[in-house]
Amino acid sequence: MLTGVSRVPLRRALADLPAYVPGARAAVGAAAYKLSSNENPYPPLPSVVAAIADAAVDVNRYPDMYATELTEAIAHRLAVVPASVVAGTGSVAVLGHVLTAVCEAGDQVVLPWRSFEAYPIAVTLAHAEQVRVPVLPDGRLDLPAMAAAVTDRTRVVLVCTPNNPTGPAVRDAELRDFLAAVPRDVLVVLDEAYVEFVRDAQAPDALALFAEHPNVVLLRTFSKAYGLAGLRVGYAVARPRLAAAIRTASTPFGVSHVAQLAALASLRAERELLVRVEAIVAERTRMLAGLHAQGWAVPDSQANFVWLALGDRTVTFAERCARAGVLVRPFAGDGVRVSVGEREATDIFLEVAQEHAPR
């Protein structure tokens, strides 16, 4: 029994924050395909499960606080120095640490909208102000407008590529123009959570841009292509001075021992995992082709999801999908994001899409 009501004042900014809405899950015992959280539909590889089991026997100990072996393996893989890599509890946590490391109260963070729903929350929690720049009707980021939104109060610009939930990736030429226009003391975060799914030949090589621009930071994750969403491992790639500041701002021991060993095993199994990524990309192509054949105008997704700008019909459509056995992610009044998962799930989704097709 609890007695009394807490009278401790809460931070006023929290009252205005939208809650992060997790993708719908199937009710216990109900069968449904979960296409609502951009997860990898494949279960972990046996070698990764074995690494997780091995790590389990050590969980009475704290993990290596700096995830040294994993950090070194990522650095080796990306051909950067280990001092440039900071691992954290998923890239969403790392984003929070990046903002905490650079933002003073009242600084502005320019971000595209609609984009990853965690951005407004992370910016507010970092005591900064968000400046939203609408994405273009084709789901692409409006990089010239984002550059124009930078003022002397701007500390960070978030570039989500591919953009969640609309799907397109930025192009190399436009990103180079953007970086040339942004002052060098403004941090540009390239959030590349879905980079392994990109097949657009004009997409940038973010590591090359990172090498050329000291104000560029990359965010990547093991949650999507590597299928470790449940273990929470992501990382930033930043110049060592900034990386050290991000580490200072990080939750101590944020990456568990189990997560560190699973991520290392995933890097070792990368070839096998990238075969799965290829299959997901092929399924995305099939999903997009099916939608185009039905007359839908959908953005050019370079990620593991597609976007239907359904406006007022969003919630009805998502409910119809759920009744048919696929859970999708509605953004009320705006559109529905559908993750690319199992083949059968695509078939069910396309049947529902056909019922609502423009022609």
Ligand X SMILES: Cc1ncc(COP(=O)(O)O)c(C=O)c1O
Buried b or exposed e, range 30-42, using 16+ CB within 10 angstroms: eebbbbbbbbbbb
Instruction: State yes or no: residue 160 binds ligand X (CB under 6 A).
Output: yes
Residues within window 76-95 making contact with ligand X, judged by CB under 6 A: 90-92
Site string for ligand X, 267-306 (x = CB under 6 A): ----------------------------------------
- Strand order, beta sheet including 216-221: 85-88, 234-237, 216-221, 187-191, 154-160, 108-113, 129-134
Tell me how far, at minimum, the Cβ of 1 lies from ligand X, in Å: 37
Instruction: State yes or no: residue 193 binds ligand X (CB under 6 A).
Output: yes
- Which CB sits closer to ligand X, 32 or 94? 94
Among 84, 124, 154, 223, binds ligand X (CB under 6 A): 223
Structure tokens given for 44:
């972990």
- Which CB sits closer to ligand X, 45 or 255? 255
Query: Which residue is nearest to ligand X, using beta carbons?
Result: 90
Q: Which stretch binds ligand X (CB under 6 A): 62-70, 77-85, 221-229, 252-260?
A: 221-229
Which contacts qualify for 346-352: CB closer than 8 Å, 24 or more apart? 346/283, 346/286, 346/287, 346/290, 348/33, 348/321, 348/324, 349/35, 349/287, 349/321, 349/324, 350/287, 350/290, 350/291, 350/294, 351/324, 352/317, 352/320, 352/321, 352/324, 352/326
The alpha carbon of 188 is separated from its chain's Cα centroid by a whole number of angstroms, namely 16
Of 342, 273, 299, give the one whose Cα is nearest residue 47.
273
Instruction: State yes or no: residue 197 binds ligand X (CB under 6 A).
Output: no
Instruction: State yes or no: residue 234 binds ligand X (CB under 6 A).
Output: yes
For 198, residues 6+ apart whose C-beta sits below 8 A from its C-beta are 162, 169, 302, 303
- Which CB sits closer to ligand X, 92 or 121? 92
Q: Is 71 helix (H, G, I), strand (E, B) or coil?
A: helix
- Which CB sits closer to ligand X, 19 or 180? 19
- Number of neighbouring beta carbons within 10 Å of residue 107: 17
What φ, ψ does residue 85 adopt, rounded to 5°?
-110, 130
Among 36, 38, 166, 302, binds ligand X (CB under 6 A): 38
# binding residues, ligand X (CB under 6 A)? 13
Instruction: State yes or no: residue 161 binds ligand X (CB under 6 A).
Output: no
Instruction: State yes or no: residue 100 binds ligand X (CB under 6 A).
Output: no
Tell me how far, at minimum, the Cβ of 26 lies from ligand X, in Å: 19
Among 123, 191, 249, 328, binds ligand X (CB under 6 A): 191
Instruction: Say how far apart CA 338 and CA 324 lie, in whole Å.
Output: 14
- Which CB sits closer to ligand X, 210 or 352? 210
Tell me how far, at minimum, the Cβ of 7 lies from ligand X, in Å: 34
Instruction: State yes or no: residue 41 binds ligand X (CB under 6 A).
Output: no
- Which CB sits closer to ligand X, 24 or 193? 193
Contact 158, 109 (CB under 8 A): yes
Instruction: State yes or no: residue 204 binds ligand X (CB under 6 A).
Output: no
- Which CB sits closer to ligand X, 124 or 164? 164
Tell me how far, at minimum, the Cβ of 160 lies from ligand X, in Å: 5
Instruction: Say how far apart CA 32 and CA 29 lie, in whole Å.
Output: 10
Outline where DSSP puts E strands in the chain: 33-34, 85-88, 108-113, 129-134, 154-160, 187-191, 216-221, 234-237, 305-308, 326-327, 329-331, 335-339
- Which CB sits closer to ligand X, 304 or 314? 304
- Which CB sits closer to ligand X, 88 or 290? 88
Q: Which residues bind ligand X (CB under 6 A)?
A: 38, 90-92, 116, 160, 164, 191, 193, 221, 223, 229, 234
